[in-house]
Structure 1
Amino acid sequence: MTASRKIFAGARIRLLRQGLNLTQAEFAQQIGISTSYLNQIENNQRALSGSVILALVDTFNFDLSELALDGAGKVSVDLQEVLTDPIFSDNKVLTQEIKVAATNAPNVTKAFLDLYRMFQKSREQLGEVDNALKDREASLAPLPYEEVRDYFHYNDNYIDSLDRAAESFATSLPHSDAGRHTDIADYLRQKHDVRVVLRKDKPSSGTVRTYDPATKTIYLNAASTMATNLFQLAYQVGLLEQGNLIEQLLDDAGFHTDVAREVCRMTFANYFAGAVVLPYSEFAQAAKDQRHDVEKLAFQFDASVEQVCHRLSMLQRPGEKGIPFYFLRIDQAGNITKRHSATTLQFTRFGGGCPLWNVHHAFQSPGEILRQLAVTPDGVQYLSLAFVQTKRVAGFKSPVRKYAIGLGCEIKHAGHVVYADDMGTTDASNFDPIGTSCRICERTDCFHRSVPPIGKDIKVDHNTRGSVPFKIA
């Protein structure tokens, strides 16, 4: 008989208590346990009992799904990847030790990860010593986009106060037969005396929105799609009305540079716009009803398919969580230009991704949604979708941008996703083995391996040549 898994959630319980501004004594009294017992729980010296879990749910409406995957899980995955670096080859850190560190000391672990990223940056800059010496502090600081990306990653890609503000605006907006694009344009004119002008004189410029504060005029590119222009109008509302909330969020984030702060200001406004176009509760219910058919959802909400996929990866509101999806966007060179993951699947930070993943094949099949059943080295099975998104502006000689969009979830949610129908999700032989990247993938029999995994010995057999010129010990 298999023993039940003990649940240690000290960091999560401590954050819940601190968020309620309660002392340990006050919190313990409300859930009917002693202060010393609560102290042991918060320090992961005692597991959560069934009665404590029920008390948390009854008293604080605690979301049980938070016990399945919290920030510690993501931190432990990042820590495990970092520890594959050869500089740690003499330190045999056990997987269980990594999990304990991420759970019991998440802030210390994140500090270690930040330190390693600084080390990585300085190591890369050693090849350009002259540039590094000009501005040593700048060379060691995290890149602005990386810092903002990590901020959202460790907040589960969900900003509650901003999301609820966007939902409140979306639900209060009058809904006319003219469509939401016209409704928001009318709102901007009536509330802020801002005009909206569709501009046709520069269709191939690539500029999708320009706001002139002097004349209070928003110029939108007439060549853009309706979904793009709707999003840009919602973005402008965010900048005009959510300034105080965004400033507070930026202060709390504590970014290292002003550039990172401004990048995140833009990202917060983008977040607000996406949550206006796809209001949380309405969209989450529609996603369930449509079994996450991204094309039907895009049609229903006047959004793009990319916007829908992005939003699906952000449905992490406590008490109303959707299916945990990962979302990414890559260019034709394999560079990841957007990434979000509410799953345990993590994207590589260094080096290329796994060529067996269907997102890299999408460029070969424009106009199709590719489906793949995949399994990662840790044994987790996924349903993976991929398709190509083309962005262009008017004009024969105008540049065309092509991206591949990836969206997926763990196979245990497949029954709620229309794309899993008829794929034989119960047959293990239908799953393709994929990894994060060759440098940390331990599969020894991969036909597409490009480099040996870090930390593994290799052997060269001069008498036998396989798909790769070495064997992994």
Structure 2
Amino acid sequence: MRAPIGLKIATRRKALGISQAALARQVEISPSYLNLIEANKRQVGGMLLARIAAELEVDLDALTGEAEHRLMHELVEAFADPVLAGSNMGLDEARALVATAPETAQLIARLYRAYGTANANADAYANRLRADPLLSQLLHQILSGITAVRAGAEILEDIEDLSGEERQRFIGSITRETKGLSAVARNLIGQFDQASSARRSASIRREVDDMIFAAQNYFPDLEASAEALRARIDRHGPFSETTLQSALETEDAIVVRRATRLPAELHEAGRAFGFDEEARTLWFRNTVPQSTRQFQMARLFAQLRAHETLDAIAAGPALTSAAARRMARRYLGSYLAGAIVFPYDAFLADARAQRYDVDALAERYNASFEQIAHRLVTLRREDDQGIPFGFLRADPAGRLTKHFPIPGLLLPHTGHACPLWALYSAFRTPGAVVRQVARFSDGSRFLFIAKAVTRRSSGFADQALPHSILLVTDILHADETVYADGLDLTDAQADIPVGPTCRLCTRSDCASRQEDAWAPGGADLPAHSLAAVAPDTAE
């Protein structure tokens, strides 16, 4: 899905009264090629886009339209919803609306978010009422309790010659039943809260995503704090796990301990580390790898000193709830730790020298594949940027658990991505890097780099589930990476045709389709494409 860069170029050029031929001459391309760019039929980037921006006297960011592309993606999702399927609105309309009436586009996206949240909550409650056996059991317990309380109260009211002992027995029975009713009622309310909390968390994640996207996943205040904190740590010796441990013990009287299991007060399902603030102890389970221990020590050291900076960023206007601010603060804490472990200038220099070889960088910094991938995504300082990468993570069930988009490709927020993406094929060869040149139906091309990794288990009874990490960059930057070696990037015939998700994909002949596609105006897919949706029990 291309952002409306061409339309913005044309609009700005006409506003300045510059002819198409004159602008083409100034930026050293042919008028016909500029015409294709303005019609959004050719991608434009790099130095050419910079020259166009200079001639039009406009900031480069205003033309690349990262925020506009994200908005356009949201509109396409809205238009694909069944409630709007009869509107005959699609990608072209979304692109034009974002380019010509951005305020209206923002309003539509905001209304659709609110509609989606309300609709999801209604569905969650309806599903609970219709199908949840636990809910039925709780309601039955409440009815039984009410009946018992009523029977005891009627006896106390109607029978006057009860002895004191008998009266106390009935009062005790009523007290026990009312206490039981209170407990059951709390469980019932908890079931509804649990049903809606997952929906609320999706909305909270979207707010945090908006904050990250607005900053282009680069936070200069955190980078400055990280530089000062790294210098402070380095005074204790060469940067390492041992040095971090020494810094925590010397400056904060915090000891680091390792054990088979965390202490009971820190035990949570799946947790491999935790900080006991009262005992001033940072605990790790024995099998936590060095990369995680190092990262978490840096995170704790930073949070003890940069809490005001973290709070100030998390208090921004994009975050409207305490839950969103808490989630944002956790993300920002991880960002700060990454900036300490991987200092911007040195890490970017190493990344360029290694041609963005993630495994080589992981070896250089004693880090994990995922930690390196996270840091690569944040190299967005205006005067010295790395390659723009997108990031995605999926669990073994294929559900997306983390994401950060890049211009031209907005990664799905939740659910599942296209089943043909390298993100999923990496699960077939865990531990090996899978590369893929993916081509979308609009002609945009991207290099996908994926690896399935497994977090180390903590014992025989623990299951070590893999997850897949995906880095994405525009094909224009592919040859700057080691992953383009041996690929003919000019041969589009070798590309893997993919889509964003099945529901938003326009490839009607895809044999890997998992659900029906959406078509503008509610049009049905051709019969031959629907055959791919139906499961084949013979396979």
Q: Normalized against structure 2, the TM-score is what?
A: 0.70
- 1:152 corresponds to which of 206, 212, 236: 212
Which residue does the alignment assign to 1:438?
A: 502
The 5-angstrom pairing of residues 53-132 of structure 1 reads 53=54, 64=60, 67-93=63-89, 95=91, 97-99=93-95, 101-103=97-99, 106=102, 109-129=105-125
Alignment partner of 1:305 is 2:382: no
Alpha-carbon offset, residue 176 of structure 1 = 6.9
Which residue does the alignment assign to 2:246?
A: 186
Which residue does the alignment assign to 1:417?
A: 481
- 1:403 corresponds to which of 462, 467, 479: 467
Letter paired with 1:327: F
Alpha-carbon offset, residue 177 of structure 1 = 6.6
Which residue does the alignment assign to 1:15?
A: none
Aligned in 2, Cα 1:433/1:180: closer, same or farther, shift over 3 Å?
same
For residues 125-154 of structure 1, the C-alpha deviation after alignment (integer angstroms, 9 at most, x for no partner) is 333446799789989856333332332234
Identity of paired residues, percent?
29
Which residue does the alignment assign to 1:200?
A: 259
Contact 1:203 1:393 in 2 (8 A): no
Alpha-carbon offset, residue 272 of structure 1 = 0.6
Which residue does the alignment assign to 1:173?
A: 233
How many angstroms apart in 1 are the aligned matches of 2:53 and 2:420? 44
Alpha-carbon offset, residue 351 of structure 1 = 4.7
Which residue does the alignment assign to 1:212?
A: 276
Contact 2:76 2:90 in 1 (8 A): no
3-state DSSP of counterpart to 1:82: helix
Range that drifts further, 153-162 or 239-248: 153-162
Alpha-carbon offset, residue 263 of structure 1 = 1.5
Contact 1:203 1:223 in 2 (8 A): no
Aligned in 2, Cα 1:9/1:139: closer, same or farther, shift over 3 Å?
farther
Contact 2:400 2:415 in 1 (8 A): no
Aligned in 2, Cα 1:327/1:350: closer, same or farther, shift over 3 Å?
closer
For residues 255-281 of structure 1, the C-alpha deviation after alignment (integer angstroms, 9 at most, x for no partner) is 232222212111111111111111222
Alpha-carbon offset, residue 284 of structure 1 = 1.3
Segments of 4+ moved more than 6 angstroms: 48-52, 54-57, 130-140
How many angstroms apart in 2 are the aligned matches of 1:387 and 1:146? 26
Alignment partner of 1:458 is 2:524: yes
Range that drifts further, 290-299 or 162-171: 162-171
Range that drifts further, 372-381 or 200-209: 200-209
How many angstroms apart in 1 are the aligned matches of 2:401 and 2:514? 23
Aligned in 2, Cα 1:279/1:9: closer, same or farther, shift over 3 Å?
farther
3-state DSSP of counterpart to 2:411: coil
How many angstroms apart in 1 are the aligned matches of 2:408 and 2:53? 26
Contact 2:211 2:319 in 1 (8 A): no
How many angstroms apart in 1 are the aligned matches of 2:429 and 2:50? 51
Alpha-carbon offset, residue 172 of structure 1 = 4.8
Which one has a larger percent helix, Structure 1 or Structure 2? 2
Range that drifts further, 302-311 or 154-163: 154-163
Contact 1:292 1:418 in 2 (8 A): yes
Contact 1:387 1:404 in 2 (8 A): yes
For residues 65-96 of structure 1, the C-alpha deviation after alignment (integer angstroms, 9 at most, x for no partner) is 66434312222222222222232234344656
3-state DSSP of counterpart to 1:370: strand
Which residue does the alignment assign to 2:512?
A: 448
Contiguous gaps of at least 5 residues in structure 1: 12-47
Alpha-carbon offset, residue 294 of structure 1 = 0.4
Alpha-carbon offset, residue 52 of structure 1 = 8.1
How many angstroms apart in 2 are the aligned matches of 1:351 and 1:195? 40
Aligned in 2, Cα 1:251/1:108: closer, same or farther, shift over 3 Å?
farther
Aligned in 2, Cα 1:88/1:291: closer, same or farther, shift over 3 Å?
same
Which residue does the alignment assign to 2:20?
A: none
Aligned in 2, Cα 1:129/1:414: closer, same or farther, shift over 3 Å?
closer
Which residue does the alignment assign to 2:294?
A: 230
Alpha-carbon offset, residue 105 of structure 1 = 5.8
How many angstroms apart in 1 are the aligned matches of 2:317 and 2:51? 35
Letter paired with 2:298: A
After superposition, the CA RMSD in angstroms is 3.5
Q: Normalized against structure 1, the TM-score is what?
A: 0.79
For residues 21-68 of structure 1, the C-alpha deviation after alignment (integer angstroms, 9 at most, x for no partner) is xxxxxxxxxxxxxxxxxxxxxxxxxxx9979837979xxxx6x46643
Which residue does the alignment assign to 1:161?
A: 221
- 1:334 corresponds to which of 386, 395, 398: 398
How many angstroms apart in 2 are the aligned matches of 1:164 and 1:301? 20
Aligned in 2, Cα 1:54/1:278: closer, same or farther, shift over 3 Å?
farther
Contact 2:400 2:417 in 1 (8 A): no
Aligned in 2, Cα 1:102/1:246: closer, same or farther, shift over 3 Å?
farther
Letter paired with 1:197: V
Aligned in 2, Cα 1:280/1:198: closer, same or farther, shift over 3 Å?
same
Alpha-carbon offset, residue 291 of structure 1 = 0.3
For residues 2-39 of structure 1, the C-alpha deviation after alignment (integer angstroms, 9 at most, x for no partner) is xx95755999xxxxxxxxxxxxxxxxxxxxxxxxxxxx
Contact 1:156 1:341 in 2 (8 A): no
Aligned in 2, Cα 1:449/1:226: closer, same or farther, shift over 3 Å?
same
For residues 274-310 of structure 1, the C-alpha deviation after alignment (integer angstroms, 9 at most, x for no partner) is 1111122211111111000001111112211111112
Range that drifts further, 279-288 or 94-103: 94-103
Letter paired with 2:255: V
3-state DSSP of counterpart to 2:346: helix
Which of 1 and 2 has greater Rg? 2
How many angstroms apart in 2 are the aligned matches of 1:160 and 1:101? 33
Aligned in 2, Cα 1:436/1:49: closer, same or farther, shift over 3 Å?
closer
Range that drifts further, 253-262 or 271-280: 253-262
How many angstroms apart in 2 are the aligned matches of 1:50 and 1:411? 20
Range that drifts further, 182-191 or 415-424: 182-191
3-state DSSP of counterpart to 1:190: helix
Contact 1:325 1:407 in 2 (8 A): yes
3-state DSSP of counterpart to 1:264: helix
Contact 2:296 2:337 in 1 (8 A): yes
